Amino acid sequence: MTNNIKNYNYPDSSGHFEEFGGKYVPETLIPALNELEEHYLDQKSNKSFQNNLNNLLKYYGGRETPLYLAKRISKELGYNVWLKREDLNHTGAHKINNALGQMLLAIEMNKTRIIAETGAGQHGVATAACAAKFGLKCTVYMGEEDIERQKLNVFRMNLMGAEIIPVTSGSKTLKDATNEAIRDWVTNVENTFYIIGSSVGPHPYPMLVRDFQSVIGLETKKQFKKQSGKNLPDRLVACVGGGSNALGLFHPFINDKVKIIGVEAAGKGVATNEHAATLSKGKFGVLHGAASYMLQDDNGQVTIPYSLSAGLDYPGIGPEHSFLHKIKRVDYHSVTDEEAVNALQWLSEKEGIIPALETAHAIAYLLSEKNDIEKGEDVIINLSGRGDKDVNTIAKYLGNII
pLDDT value at 402 more than 60: no
Determine the pLDDT at residue 6: 73
Looking at the chain, the whole-number percentage of residues with pLDDT higher than 70 is 98
With bands split at pLDDT 50, 70 and 90, how would you rate the model's confidence at 1?
A: very low
With bands split at pLDDT 50, 70 and 90, how would you rate the model's confidence at 149?
A: confident
Give the DSSP per-residue string, 36-97.
Answer: HHHHHHHHHT-HHHHHHHHHHHHHTS-PSPPEEE-HHHHHHHTSEEEEEEGGGSGGGBTHHH
CA–CA separation, 215 vs 210, rounded Å?
A: 9
Residues 263-274 pLDDT 10s: 999 999 999 999
Assess contact for 330 and 240: CB atoms under 8 A.
no
CA–CA separation, 98 vs 117, rounded Å?
A: 13
Measuring CA to CA, which residue among 389, 380, 391, 381 is closest to residue 341?
A: 391
Domains defined for the chain, CATH in brackets: 26-57+95-209 (3.40.50.1100), 63-92+214-401 (3.40.50.1100)
Residues labelled catalytic: 95, 117, 384
Rounded to the nearest angstrom, the gap between the alpha carbon of residue 84 and the centroid of all alpha carbons in its chain is 14
CA–CA separation, 139 vs 223, rounded Å?
A: 37
The mean predicted confidence, pLDDT, of the chain is 96
Residues 159-168 pLDDT 10s: 999 999 999 9
Q: What is the mean pLDDT of residues 382-395?
A: 95
Measuring CA to CA, which residue among 325, 345, 343, 327 is closest to residue 262?
A: 325
Beta carbons within 8 Å of 19's beta carbon, 6+ residues apart? 284, 291
Assess contact for 252 and 221: CB atoms under 8 A.
yes
Beta carbons within 8 Å of 318's beta carbon, 6+ residues apart? 198, 199, 200, 206, 210, 242, 243, 244, 247, 290, 292
Assess contact for 290 and 243: CB atoms under 8 A.
no
Residues 322-362 pLDDT 10s: 999 999 999 999 999 999 999 999 999 999 999 999 999 99
Determine the pLDDT at residue 120: 87
* C-beta atoms surrounding 36 within 10 Å: 22
Residues 65-121 pLDDT 10s: 999 999 999 999 999 999 999 999 999 999 999 999 999 999 999 999 999 999 989
